[in-house]
Structure 1
Amino acid sequence: MIERSYKITSVEGLHARPAATLVAAVTPFTSEVKLEYQERQVNMKSIMGLMSLGISKDSTIKIIADGSDEEDLMAVVDALMKTEGLATG
């Protein structure tokens, strides 16, 4: 299991477009992946789950990946957070 924390830097927070990008990026992986915010965890493969959290700028989130391809999954998440300008980690 890998856990990594990020601070959201995007002015809009984690709104629909970047949430959809993250969901699309992690869905092909077999590992379970969850996003935790304010003690709530949602399946990161669910756009509705991510949107229900209402994550705004300067929020701290945690991503938890668990499975056979968790390292590859987390590498993709890290890259997206940086290239999309969503968060620092």
Structure 2
Amino acid sequence: MKTQQFTVVDPLGIHARPASQLVAKATPFASSIEIRTEEKAANLKSILGVMGLALKQGSQFTLVVEGEDEEQALAALTTLITEMGLAQ
């Protein structure tokens, strides 16, 4: 299992467009990928789950990746999140 913590820096938070990009990036991986806050968790392969977290600027979340391609999945998602300027 691999994990990585982030803090949302985008003033708009993680809204529909970046959420859909995250889901699109996560979906091809075989690993289980969750996005967790202190209160909730969601499957990163589910747009409704990600949107349901309502991540706003300043929110903290952790990606939890477990499976055969967990290292590649976490690296790809971390790169996407930082390149889009969503979180750090």
TM over 0.5: yes
Aligned residue number for residue 49 of structure 2:
49
Alpha-carbon distance in structure 1 between the residues aligned to 2:82 and 2:54: 20
For residue 82 of structure 1, report the CA deviation from its aligned partner: 1.1
2:10: which partner in 1?
10
Structure 2 counterpart of 1:43, one-letter code: N
Q: TM-score, normalised by structure 2?
A: 0.97
Helix, strand or coil: the match of 1:6?
A: strand
Q: Name the CA distance, whole Å, in 1 between partners of 2:4 and 2:79.
A: 13
Amino acid at match of 1:29: F
Superposed displacement of residue 40, structure 1:
1.0
Q: Which segments of 5 or more consecutive residues in structure 2 lack a partner in the other structure?
A: none
The CA deviation at 1:38 is 2.7
Unaligned runs of 5+ in 1: none
TM superposition outliers: structure 1 runs of 4+ over 6 Å: none
Q: CA RMSD in A?
A: 0.6
Offset of residue 20 of structure 1: 0.2
When normalised by structure 1's length, the TM-score is 0.96
Identity %: 36
* Number of equivalent positions: 88
Aligned to 1:67: 67
Q: Matches of 2:13 and 2:62 in 1, distance apart? A: 15
